[in-house]
Amino acid sequence: MRISDRKKLAFVEWEQDCGLAHVLAQEPQSWVTPPPTIQPTKRASPLPLEAATSLEELRLSSEAFEGSPLKKTATHLVFGEGNPRAPLMFIGEAPGAEEDRLGRPFVGASGQLLDKMLAAIQLDRTQVYITNILPWRPPGNRTPTTDEMALFLPFVRKHIALVAPRILCLVGGTAVKALLARQEGIIRLRGNWLPYEGGIEVLPTYHPAFLLRSPGRKKEAWQDFLALHKKLQSFSKCP
Ligand code: URA
């Protein structure tokens, strides 16, 4: 099957799940900058976090960081991937078993749903950037503790600064709790545009794992993805 057919199929499945009509016009994604060709770094030893000035340096300093026992129980660092020039960056919770095995974010069941949701707004992983609050899998997929979130927050903040997206989509309650000092939970906050530093706009939405357990919430997630699509399209209309 051709990629365009697969994308169409993913869209139709997601649309049917949501029980909604297709409302997106096939517009060119003029805001997407093609991903750069990344030159392998020559640096052998990792820099401290504060000194990292590129994603590769940040990856090396994340990998070398010994401040968390999660590193000992996990198999692979799950750093982030996608288009490092993307205007839209997704931040999830933490790697699960499949992500830990492959060292890539959102490649298990949640990731497959995320891919469908992206396809529904005519996006794929080459057009967005995806990472997590924790780069190491918590044993048994438990929810990250507040201390773990605080420990890795400087890495996440650096990650955001290096990608410099225009929109941050926080996927699930953990990402919201870690990055926004808000008392409300994800059910209250989802679908609301919130400010972040440097003029970045934040949209919290449900975690795909939650949607898999509670498919009745997919309609709200679809509204959130439509809002993302609309915001991205508005960038290409800027003079
Ligand atoms: N859930 C997450 O939050 N992140 C992943 O990478 C996979 C599942």
Q: Cα separations (Å) of 172 from 105, 107, 133, 185, 206? A: 15, 16, 11, 9, 5
Q: What is the percent of the chain where pLDDT is above 90?
A: 77
The reply to whether ligand 1 has any atom less than 6 angstroms from the CB of 92 is: yes
The reply to whether ligand 1 has any atom less than 6 angstroms from the CB of 100 is: no
The reply to whether ligand 1 has any atom less than 6 angstroms from the CB of 82 is: no
Q: 93-134 pLDDT, tens per residue?
A: 999 999 999 999 999 999 999 999 999 999 999 999 999 999
- CA of 96 from ligand 1 middle (Å) equals 6
Number of domains in the chain: 1
Q: Is 9 part of a structural domain of the chain? A: no
pLDDT of residue 171: 98
Look at ligand 1, atom 7, and give the residue with the nearest C-alpha: 106
Q: 149-193 pLDDT, tens per residue?
A: 999 999 999 999 999 999 999 999 999 999 998 889 999 999 999
**Distant-in-sequence contacts of 229-234, Cβ < 8 A, 24+ apart:** 229/24, 229/121, 229/122, 231/167, 231/201, 231/203, 232/29, 232/31, 232/87, 232/88, 232/167, 233/27, 233/31
**Distant-in-sequence contacts of 46-52, Cβ < 8 A, 24+ apart:** 49/154, 49/155, 49/158, 52/158, 52/162
- Does the pLDDT at position 21 exceed 50? no
d(Cα 235, Cα 237) in Å, to the nearest integer? 5
Q: Cα separations (Å) of 198 from 194, 195, 202? A: 12, 9, 11
Q: Is 22 part of a structural domain of the chain? A: no
Q: Is 221 part of a structural domain of the chain? A: yes
CATH code of the domain covering residue 71: 3.40.470.10
pLDDT of residue 22: 47
pLDDT of residue 80: 98
Q: Is 201 part of a structural domain of the chain? A: yes
Q: What is the percent of the chain where pLDDT is above 70?
A: 80
pLDDT of residue 17: 62
pLDDT of residue 28: 45
The structure's pTM equals 0.86
Query: Domain of 70?
Result: 49-236
Q: Is 44 part of a structural domain of the chain? A: no
Instruction: Point out the ligand 1 atom lying closest to the alpha carbon of residue 98.
Output: 7
